[in-house]
Structure 1
C-alpha cells in the first residue's frame, strides 16, 4: 500500500477500545499454589505490568531512500553545511556532506535556497487530552486529588485530534504529551510521534523512557482542599514520596527474593517507585525560582533527579543552579504576567539560561505555538542578542531539537542530524528563523509524511472531514 494511502487509512479506520481487569495480586495457579515467575516476568512486574500491555505499536511508514541536495543543512550538532546534501536510507540519516553521489535507488529532492533541520521536538504539549477543538467533552487533562500518579496520559489521548497533523505541518515530529497541573502529581506523560494513528500506542515513541508530571505553585494549591498553601504542597510531596519509598522497598525485596506472594499492587506507587529507582524522568510544572529550589530539595531528600522544569518563567534567577544540577528548563519565549507567579517573566529568560550553561528549551504548552516552534525560538534568540549575548543560530536550533530530545530521554535517536539517527527531517522554504518561513516537507523515519506542495500528502483527521450535509 502506498505511504499516502496508508496515511489516509490510519485516519479513516475507527478507533477500537477494549477493557481489561487488573487483580491486586499476581496471578496464581488454579490450585492456589504460588506461580513461579521467570526473570522477564519479574522485570515486567517491576515496571508495573505482568506482560507487554501498553507497549508501543508504532510502525514507520515505508520509506524510499531520499537525497536532499544543495540546501543549507543545519545539523543542530554544531555543524552547518552550506550547499549541503543529506541522504536518508533505511529510516536513518545515512550521510551528510556536499556533492554526494546519487544512489541508483534514491529519490532526489532539490533543496536549493532552502534549509534542512532535524524534526522539531516539543517538550510540553497537551495535544490529545486538551484536544482541538477545545470543548468540554474533549477535555481529559486533570483529575481531582492531591496526587494521582496512577494516571497515564496515553489512556486519555484522542489520536484523531486535528492538532497532531497541524503540528506536523509546522515541522514538529515528536512531542511529550502531558496531563495537566491541577494536582501535585498528575500522572505519567506520553512521548508521541506525531504521525496519524488509530490508537495512542500506534503513536508511542518506541522505548522512550517513562515520564512523570508533577506541579508546584498556584495551580495545585488553588483548590478548596489540601493543599491550599506552598507549605501544604511541600508536605504533600514529602508524605507521598515517603509512602512510595516504603512501597519500593517492599517490592524490591520481593523481586530480589521472589518467594511467597508478591506485595499488593498499587498503581500510583508503582509509578513513584520507578521514579525512585531512576527509571522514570520527572517533569515539573513550576514558575517561581523559590518553588523550583523547593522541588530540588525534595528531590535531594528522596534521591531522584528532576529532568526539566516546565514554564519556569523565573529560571533565569537560578540559572547557575540548573547548570550545576544538570536540570533543563522548558520555557516559553515570552509569556509573562498572566498570573501572579508569572509576573517576573522576561523575554531574555531562555537565552540567559542558555548562557549559564544549562539546557534551555523552548516549548509550546499550546496547540497553536506547537505549529511554529521555530518562530518561538527565533523570538528568544533575538531577545538574547539584543541583550548582548553571543548565541549562534545552531545553539538556538538546539532549543527546539537536541535539548528537548534530552529532556525526553531520546537524544540518542533524534534531535540532531547525525549518521545513524532516525531520519526525522524538515525541509524549510527558507531560513527557519524567519517569520516568512514554513515547513515545505517533513520526513519521519525517512518516510515523507507531509508535503506543503502536494494536497495528497497533507493528512487530515476524520473529525475535520465533517458530518453529512443537509439541504436547506
Structure 2
C-alpha cells in the first residue's frame, strides 16, 4: 500500500525512523535462551518488525458507534491518540485539547474489520500458477511450513481489503490440501517491504489443519494414505503421538510447531465442514491434549452449536456458500443465526480476495437469514462477528477487535450503516494512522506491483 505509506512517512525507507512501536507484544517477539529456535541475536526467527505509521490525536464526533463487543452508542465520540483508543462514550465525553475533530454525523464507526481466514499474499493477484504458494501438497502433514514464507507483500489484494472492506488485520493460512498444513501468520494490513514489517506484534501463531474431502482426495488419488476419513484420523493421531514424544534435543521444525500447539502457544484453526467430523476432532483434541480455536468453513456447525459453545470453539463461516462439494451440501444461510441463538462464537470469514472486501455485507446477509426465521440479532452483535470474535479466535482480542481504552486504534468510519449494501469505508485508521481516506485521493493505497504496471497505450 505504497501511496499512503509515502505520504504518511516520507518514504518506506524512513518508516522505522519516523514511527514508534505499537507498545504491544514487543516482549512476545523475543524468546527464552533455552528455546532451541532462538537465533544468535536472542530473538525468535522472523520476528515482527512492525512499526505503526504516525498519526494525530483524533476525535470522531457525532457518529453511531458499534464498539465490537455488542455495544451501540448513538451520537457517540471515539478518541484515539498515540496508536491507542483513549476513550469512547456519548456526547458528554470530554475531548482533550489538541485533538483533530472529525464530524461523523449520519455516519457509523466500528473497530477495524478482521478476517480470520485469508490467503492474500500466498495466493496473490494476479492469480497465475507462478503465484500459487499456499499448499505444500507433498506430504499429508506439513507442520514444518510457515505461511509467512510465501506471503508477497505487494499483493494488490491487501490494499483492496483495506479500502473497500475496512480490513485492518487478517490471518494468512496455508491451504487445505494437507491434514496439517503448517503455521499461519497474523498481519496488520499496512504497506511494508517485508512480511516481517506486517506481522502483528505479539500475535500467537496458528496452525492450519483440515478434515474431510481435501486431504483424502489429494493423497488417496496418489495411492497414498489417507484415502478415507478414517485414514485422516489415523494419520492425525499418529502425528500427535509422535509430537508428544519429541524431546527437543535435536531440532525438528515440524515437531516444534506441533509441540507449540500441545503447549498452548499455537492455536489450531481446523478446516472442517461436517458436524460429525467436528465432534470427532474435538474428541481427538481431548485425547491428545490440545484444543481447537476455530473450525473454518463449518457449514454444518448449526447442528452442534451446543457442543461448540461448551468446548469454547468458534465457527468461522460464510454467509451462504454451500453445495459446491458433497461435504458442503448441507449448509444453510441460517447457520450463523442458529449458532448465535445457542450462545456459540460466530465469525464471518472470507477465504477469498473478493469476499474480504465485503465482510460487512456477508455478515448482514447472515443476520437477515436469521431474521427471516424470527431470530432477531442486533446490528451491534453482528459487528462482533467480523471484529471481536475473530480477534478472540486468533488470540489478539486483548489488543484489537473492539473499541476500548488501551486497545489498538484500528478504526473504520463508514459513510452509512456498515450492514447496508450501500455503505463503504470513508476513512480507515490502523494503530491510529489514517491509511485510507475516500475523500482524499492522496490516501488511496496502491501496491508497488500496481504502480509498476504500464497503462493503456504505453510501450510494452
Q: Same fold (TM over 0.5)?
A: yes
Match of 1:191 among 175, 186, 191: 186
More displaced stretch, 72-81 vs 342-351: 72-81
The higher radius of gyration belongs to 1
1:466 deviates by 3.7
- Segments of structure 2 that go 5 or more residues without pairing to the other structure are 16-30
Superposition pairs for residues 393-404 of structure 1, below 5 Å?
393-404=379-390
Alpha-carbon separation, structure 2, partners of 1:48 and 1:220: 38
1:344 deviates by 0.2
Match of 1:116 among 105, 109, 122: 109
1:47 deviates by 11
Match of 1:283 among 260, 269, 293: 269
1:7 deviates by 6.4
Could you tell me the TM-score, scaled by structure 2's length? 0.91
Match of 2:342 among 356, 374, 379: 356
1:100 deviates by 3.6
- The 1:49/1:275 distance shift into structure 2, 3 A limit, reads farther
Superposition pairs for residues 263-302 of structure 1, below 5 Å?
263-302=249-288
Alpha-carbon separation, structure 2, partners of 1:41 and 1:185: 28
Alpha-carbon separation, structure 2, partners of 1:61 and 1:471: 36
SS across alignment from 1:235: helix
Alpha-carbon separation, structure 2, partners of 1:205 and 1:353: 29
The count of residues paired between Structure 1 and Structure 2 equals: 434
Residues 179 and 210 in structure 2, CA contact (< 8 A), matched pair in contact too: yes
Q: Quote the residue 1:177 is aligned against.
A: 172
Alpha-carbon separation, structure 2, partners of 1:78 and 1:150: 38
Match of 1:130 among 123, 131, 135: 123
SS across alignment from 1:220: helix
- Segments of structure 1 that go 5 or more residues without pairing to the other structure are 14-38, 252-262
Alpha-carbon separation, structure 1, partners of 2:109 and 2:4: 25
SS across alignment from 1:351: helix
Residues 286 and 292 in structure 1, CA contact (< 8 A), matched pair in contact too: yes
Residues 75 and 418 in structure 1, CA contact (< 8 A), matched pair in contact too: yes
1:278 deviates by 1.1
Cα offsets for 1:357-415 (capped at 9, x unmatched): 11011000010110111000000000011111131111111100110000000001111
Alpha-carbon separation, structure 2, partners of 1:313 and 1:456: 41
Q: Is residue 409 of structure 2 the alignment partner of residue 416 of structure 1?
A: no
Q: Quote the residue 1:228 is aligned against.
A: 227
Could you tell me the TM-score, scaled by structure 1's length? 0.88
Match of 1:76 among 68, 77, 87: 68
Alpha-carbon separation, structure 2, partners of 1:150 and 1:345: 33
Q: Quote the residue 1:32 is aligned against.
A: none
Residues 48 and 270 in structure 1, CA contact (< 8 A), matched pair in contact too: no
SS across alignment from 1:459: coil
Q: Quote the residue 2:24 is aligned against.
A: none
1:8 deviates by 7.7
- The 1:407/1:165 distance shift into structure 2, 3 A limit, reads same
1:51 deviates by 3.5
Q: Quote the residue 1:162 is aligned against.
A: 156
Q: Quote the residue 1:260 is aligned against.
A: none
Q: Quote the residue 1:215 is aligned against.
A: 210
- The 1:72/1:372 distance shift into structure 2, 3 A limit, reads same
More displaced stretch, 131-140 vs 434-443: 131-140
SS across alignment from 2:359: helix
- The 1:420/1:8 distance shift into structure 2, 3 A limit, reads same
Cα offsets for 1:270-301 (capped at 9, x unmatched): 00011111111000000011111121121111
1:356 deviates by 0.7
- RMSD over aligned CA atoms reads 2.2
Alpha-carbon separation, structure 1, partners of 2:322 and 2:88: 40
Cα offsets for 1:3-42 (capped at 9, x unmatched): 65256834999xxxxxxxxxxxxxxxxxxxxxxxxx9311
Cα offsets for 1:143-167 (capped at 9, x unmatched): 1211000000110100010000110
Alpha-carbon separation, structure 2, partners of 1:383 and 1:164: 29
Alpha-carbon separation, structure 2, partners of 1:350 and 1:120: 18
Alpha-carbon separation, structure 1, partners of 2:384 and 2:161: 18
1:46 deviates by 8.2
Residues 11 and 462 in structure 1, CA contact (< 8 A), matched pair in contact too: no
Q: Quote the residue 1:442 is aligned against.
A: 428
1:50 deviates by 6.3
Q: Quote the residue 1:463 is aligned against.
A: 449
1:52 deviates by 3.1
Residues 85 and 408 in structure 2, CA contact (< 8 A), matched pair in contact too: yes
Residues 355 and 389 in structure 1, CA contact (< 8 A), matched pair in contact too: yes
